[in-house]
Structure 1
Amino acid sequence: MTTVAAYAAPAAKAPLERTTIERRAVGEFDVLIDIKFAGICHSDIHQARDGWRPGTFPMVPGHEIAGVVSEVGPGVTKYAVGDRVGVGCMVDSCRECDNCKAGLEQYCSGGGPVWTYNGTGKDGQPTYGGYSQKIVVDQDYVVRIPDGLSLDVAAPLLCAGITTYSPLRHWNAGPGKKVAVVGLGGLGHVGVKLAHALGAEVTVLSQSLRKKDDGLKLGADHYYATSDPKTFEELAGTFDLILNTVSAPLDFAPYFSLLRTDGSMVNVGLPEEPVQIVLQTLFGNRRSVSSSGIGGIAETQEMLDFCAEHGVGAEIELISAEEINDAYERVLSSDVRYRFVIDTATI
């Protein structure tokens, strides 16, 4: 066991505070990672404040982890000391179900994946995330960060990147396809960059035009305000794919009207409140509504390699650990462009 410093929420809705946690000894197939940077995801706030379900406390959030390998177990073949690596939303799964064997570990049906934090490991112990100095992870749930990506801008890709890349790939975003991204926040800004890099024609749908200049610089071809009713009239029947990154309930019907025949609206933001869908609004042109959850380990590596090749990284604001609580409030106020990343040397 190794004692490391971390920032944890001692109870639901309580401010995060500096503490220490125990990391397991490095096992045969484990790697010990010195965490350099950890992104702040909106889901960290949902979970630290019991927004989705009752959490396990004390809770150390963080599943956007970038660092350097400092020790490997005797059976490790994939990584060596000094390698630049990342850890995303999960650190294990059953490895035996059909989904795990298909590289869809995020949809593990053998008890579900072991989440990087606010979860329970196979040893029965709670998992602690990336707001900490070190983490021990099985080599099969670690990914390599290519040299073309700086660790700080790569960290958010371990959640925001794969969360948007996976549905864009699955629904074949690319040349000749029209993609709309709803919301230009932590998820949405990466989604715009990725959809543009994949060759799609990209439109941002945001509440206002306040971030229009940013959206166009990030790769959007068009930018519309959803607060303007004319937007839904002008864009009716336009999109092959709508990627909804907003974690608040929406009135879905107007958005469904923007889909072409056989178009899909895919939701990657997860509101705390139930949402209502009126089926009649989907019937007209064989439209569909779906969702997508992160991606498997192989697809996450594919995403990182793609980002390195195309120069895609998150737009970040680097903060010290003592600024985490203020950062949470700023995320809730949409006062970040576009992802907070913790310099874990400050923990």
Structure 2
Amino acid sequence: MRAPSLSRRSRARPVSQADLTTLFKNSEIPQIDIWREFKSRKGLGDLTPEDAFKTATVYRVAATDSSSTWKGALERDHNIDPYTLHYTALPLFLSRVRNAAVPLEAMGLHMLSTASSLGYTPSTLTLMSSLLDQPPESFLRFRQLLRDVESRFKRLLRTENNPDAFTLQGCLLLKDGGSALEALNYFNWAIKAAHRISPSTAVPARDPSNPTNSSSRQPRWTFEGSCHLNRGRILLEQGQADKALASFTVVALELDLADGYVELAKLLPRDTPERETYLLKAAQAGNFEACRLLALGLADKAFDASLPSVDRVRAIMMATEWAQVDPDSSQREGVVAQVEEKMTEFRRERGWLRE
């Protein structure tokens, strides 16, 4: 049989952008007014809304399912460096956009993964930190999506003294049911690494009884609060209350974080004035554990015979209000029941309740 003529063979033509399958639709790019909203919430770094909109538009066209060659073209042909990619992706990945026609998390995830693959450490850390927010039923599935990112993260742990990486690894160990002692080691390494990068500076003395009038400082690394908070909880479980107190003090009195005030309050006797101050500070910041503890503490305060009658009545009324705040119905109902029981006792003591 005669071989077919070369002139009759189909000749492959160069692959054009039109031949490639893009991963995202044009409708998945937020309009400029949403980018302006992101900017107003300080979600774009140094980028303007117009920069971010243009980056997302170019990325939608460039990102294909064919190969990874398009990644290098982002900066070479379009002047989109990993920083620009990261801060364009961040609000898409982390925010629920109001009135968005389609979910935007997928595009944000893809952009962050691309920036991570280009060696941008903040993108790697952002994606790994997102694992901490996953519910148990989706944790392993989402972790599978981040296999390549986690490989880069583990390399970061081995090769760099990065306090955020150490902190995240400790938190992930706790999330995944790992060793608390191993997690504690990572938290300790994070603190040491941060001190090497930026030695501690003196923090103005704070008045423990009036935290709202005291100055706080910025975190020395992104996840410093989580580091000291989890470290303190582990130390407390080990019976090292003094060291735990020191960690919680950093979270509350230096970083001014609600979770720290709650943990400090739980270490104080129930009748300590600072305890109520700390719980009130945390409750006003939206910490629902503080709301529950504050409600029960105020209900107990109503039985303090040394207080004026008007203060005791006010305490039981405030206890009722704080007991109703928790959005978790099971938690709320339990606290409300305890407060109502104390209210009944209070009314009986005052002679307001007939047997």
Tell which has more relative contact order, 1 or 2 (C-alpha 8 A, sep 6+).
1
- TM bucket (normalised to shorter chain) is under 0.3
* TM superposition score normalised by structure 1: 0.26
Q: Which has the higher strand share?
A: 1
Q: Which has the higher helix share?
A: 2
* TM superposition score normalised by structure 2: 0.26
